[in-house]
Structure 1
Amino acid sequence: CHGFGHTPAAVLDAMARPQVMANVMTPSLAQRRLDRALRAEIGHSRGGCPFVRFMCLNSGSEAVGLAARIVDTNAKLHTDPGARHAGATIKRLVVKGSFHGRTDRPGLYSDSSRKTYTKYLASYRDEDSVIAIAPYDVAALQRAFDEAARNHWFIEAVFLEPVMGEGDPGRALPAEFYAAARALTRTHGSLLLVDSIQAGLRAHGVLSVVDYPGFEQLDPPDLETYSKALNAAQYPLSVLAVNEHAAQVYRKGTYGNTMTTNPRALDVACATLALFTPQVRENIRIRGAQAIAKLEALQAELGGLITKVQGTGLLFSCELAPHFKCYGAGSTEEWLRHRGVNVIHGGENSLRFTPHFAMDEDELDLMVGLIARALKEGPRQVQAEAA
């Protein structure tokens, strides 16, 4: 899921520098450098960064976990005695197929993992706090907030991916739905999180949803998370960006750990952001559009073997007909990996691709050619079962 290949020299150099031992209490100039780099990147299409604070953590899931802690604080402020939603039952809203991480609260917001958690985890036995609506149905979103008002529910937050990473890889969030979610959360007192951990940098060559085409004029979210491409898959780092409102809600003592904001991680992020030249950004957009065009041509040529092609930038997928096994032993995914293609399954029966950001057209043609071979010569479901 990470953009500059296996051994990006500039990132490895940054990672190898001598550093003091990580300790959340130790200030570092690396913190200043990353703060400046993030402020320069986020909001560059709209005249300035809309976020006032950055909080740096380790895994992507942890950044969402901290966001959820701020959301939890806000929910208490809204539902305590005497507050606007005093005594309300707390709910949370996502779209079906959402993925926001696997630790406790992020896992709860992840509809794509829900079936597995309900099957194996006792804590999900009576869990009914999550409202999961059909993706990007504005009327369903409005109905959910209307129902909350009728039932004395407080929807603590709406979590959205700007481009889906797991549930329906490559599917983009429409600006119209985002704008509706922003308006409804603001009216209701809920917080809005955009989880850019999978899509950041990869989808449009920009880190933040606030710089996506069609989003530059829209109100920013309260919270946004980044991780994967930002750390070049070399060192654990995630970032939570917060606006003034969310920053005011945060309470000291509600989060922190030893490795947060450690200088080695921050130097890695600075080195990665420095690699994002205008040429790299343009390559992500051009190559992504070519990938869709070439896979759609392959879909037409193969007559029904590929059932859907979609993507945004260099996060794209092709869904396979049911007689292909997507993952596991004897699968199409395994066949492609054995031939050197970076592929991971997603969605119902999809191959998900997250190629490196400098990929050229020859490499893309090689990849599409191997997908064609996999579907013509590779394993089918019946063979996989026999194996």
Structure 2
Amino acid sequence: MSTVIPAEGTALLSSGSVAGWTQRYTGAVMDTFGPPQRVLVRGEGAYVWDADGKRYLDLLGGIAVNALGHAHPTLTAAISAQLGTLGHVSNFFGTPAQIALAETLLRAAEAPDGSRVFLTNSGTEAVEAAFKMTRRVAASSGVGTRTRVLALEGAFHGRSMGALALTAKAAYREPFEPLPGGVEHLPFGDLGALEAAFAPQSVAEHGEVAALVVEPVQGEAGVRPLPPGYLAAARRLTRAHGALLVLDEVQTGIGRCGSWFAYQQPEIGGGIVPDVVTVAKGLGGGFPVGAVIAYGEAAHLLGRGQHGSTFGGNPVAAAAALTTIGVIERDGLLTNVREVGALLRQEVEMCGSPLVREVRGRGLLLAVVLNEPVAPQVATAALEAGFIVNAVAPDAIRLAPPLILTAEQAMDAARFFATLEDL
């Protein structure tokens, strides 16, 4: 019987060409993503290398995941040390890393006394837990049956069944219908539509609202920040009607927009306190971990035995998240995100390319909006030039680089966009 993994360990996995690995990929990996654009074998800082030895500036960061870049020495040391001490114990037991992470997230969220955290493995799992919390609103409020949940057009909240019900894109939803019911999608940023959803006539026809679930900045829809004042109005309406305000900060949280959470920025959140925030992606710096932060009374919506996770909050994931947050704070990366993000935005907007119309977003979650629907061609050209970006919409390129991106690297990116002509 042949050995599955060579006795030498995984070192041999870095050998071979992009073409060879791609052929093996198509023969072994389920075809849910299509063939890989490249096969990457190592990374350092904001750069990665493919199996042919070509270097790329990673301006996507694993889709806003690699907050500290690749192979960050502090993060890799923390993960190794924790795994060498205690790797997994189940949630019948607590661990210092798990407890410290929950406390740290509550502090970063500036959550009031009585708030609590539920730890997950991913963003979609965090959203699933939040969705389950919305089903408990009726029981906690004593107001009949509340299963009506509001979300926004353009929303992306994940691909598991509950999260998919909240996600707006028909191409994602339709193959898996019927989805969990009661979800309504309102026009993005439309305060009139939001107020109408809570109006007496709407309540009489559709029932009381259990929750409003929104992203402060829609990532998959093309990096669209909610208009100023929207979240403040949402907070007023949800509080007046006994509904939860759930903020999906899976992509925007943990410094991505220049603050721990995007809603903490006055121009986005206006000083609100939400009921629930979901977070993942950059939380573990590349290690899978997510969290649900429940503020105040919302922390009691899920009781003992009503939810769980085998791996959620395991000590290795918790150590990764603690270290990621610690490095962001230690190295002043929130300031770096604001300063380098502003530089990147300015330089791309002023690059002189006839294809570039504007740059929108916050911090280091940006979209380069194009004058033509040629984003896939731009992403391909970027890859050939040594830059990893994402065609998030036909006319928009998403940038979500590591939070450690330097000013020089931002200028390199701007110089690439300056080379773009009509495609």
Q: Measure, in 1, the Cα distance between the counterparts of 2:285 and 2:384.
A: 23
Go from structure 1 to structure 2 and tell me whether the alpha carbon gap of 1:320 and 1:217 turns closer, same or farther (over 3 Å shift).
Answer: closer
Structure 1 residue 260: Cα displacement? 1.5
Q: Is residue 2:187 matched to residue 1:134?
A: yes
CA distance in 1, matches of 2:413, 2:263: 31
Q: Kindly indicate whether residue 333 of structure 2 is the aligned counterpart of residue 260 of structure 1.
A: no
Q: In the TM superposition, what whole-angstrom CA distance separates every residue of 1:247-273 from its partner, at most 9, and x where no partner exists?
A: 222122121121011010000011101
Structure-2 residue corresponding to 1:52: 115
Write the mapping of 1:9-48 to structure 2, written as runs, cut at 5 A: 9-17=73-81, 18=84, 19-43=86-110
Aligned pair partner of 2:360 in 297, 304, 310: 310
Contact 1:34 1:269 in 2 (8 A): yes
2:165 match:
108
- 1:342 touches 1:354 (CA, 8 Å); kept in 2? no
CA distance in 1, matches of 2:276, 2:405: 31
**SS in structure 2 at match of 1:10:** helix
8 Å contact kept, 2:130–2:276: yes
Offset, 1:149: 1.9
Q: Where do 1:232-243 residues align within 5 Å?
A: 232-233=285-286, 235-243=287-295
Establish whether residue 123 from structure 1 lines up as the match of residue 187 from structure 2. Answer: no
- Alignment deviations for residues 313-333 of structure 1 (CA, whole Å, 9 cap, x no partner): 000011223352x23xxx321
The alpha-carbon deviation at position 137 of structure 1 amounts to 1.6
How far residue 168 of structure 1 moved from its aligned partner, in angstroms, is 2.4
Mapping 1:72-87, distance limit 5 Å:
72-77=135-140, 83-84=142-143, 86=144
1:76-225 correspondence runs (5 A): 76-77=139-140, 83-84=142-143, 86=144, 90-111=147-168, 113-118=169-174, 120-123=175-178, 129-146=182-199, 147-169=201-223, 171-209=224-262, 211-214=264-267, 218-225=271-278
The equivalent residue for 2:130 is: 67
Q: Percent identity?
A: 25
Instruction: State the alpha-carbon separation in 1 of the partners of residues 371 and 268 from structure 2.
Output: 34
AA of the residue aligned to 1:104: M
Q: Secondary structure at the match of 2:218?
A: coil
What SS is found at the alignment partner of 2:414? helix
Q: Secondary structure at the match of 1:319?
A: strand
Counterpart amino acid of 1:56? L
Normalised by the size of structure 1, how large is the TM-score?
A: 0.84
Contact 2:120 2:312 in 1 (8 A): yes
Report the Cα distance in structure 2 between the residues aligned to 1:266 and 1:340, rounded to whole angstroms: 33
Q: State whether structure 2 residue 421 is matched by structure 1 residue 376.
A: yes
Using structure 2 for the length normalisation, give the TM-score: 0.78
Deviation at 1:21, TM superposition (A): 2.7
Q: Quick one: structure 1 residues 273 and 7, their matched pair in 2 at CA, closer, same or farther if it must change by over 3 Å?
A: same
Question: Is the 1:207–1:226 Cα contact (8 Å) retained in structure 2?
Answer: no
2:47 aligns with none
Aligned counterparts of 1:31 and 1:65: Cα–Cα separation in 2: 20
- SS for the counterpart of 1:123 is coil
List alignment gaps of at least 5 residues for structure 1. 381-387
Shift of residue 283 of structure 1? 1.1
Gaps of 5+ in 2: 1-63
- 1:272 and 2:272 are equivalent in the alignment: no
Report deviation, 1:200: 0.9
RMSD: 2.3
Query: Are 1:353 and 2:382 matched, yes or no?
Result: no
Provide Cα deviations, 1:99-153, integer angstroms capped at 9, x if missing partner.
1111111111111x333322x22425xx873322222221111011114323141
| Cα separation, 2, equivalents of 1:107 and 1:323 | 26
CA drift of 1:285 comes to: 0.4
Residue of 316, 320, 334 corresponding to 2:370: 320
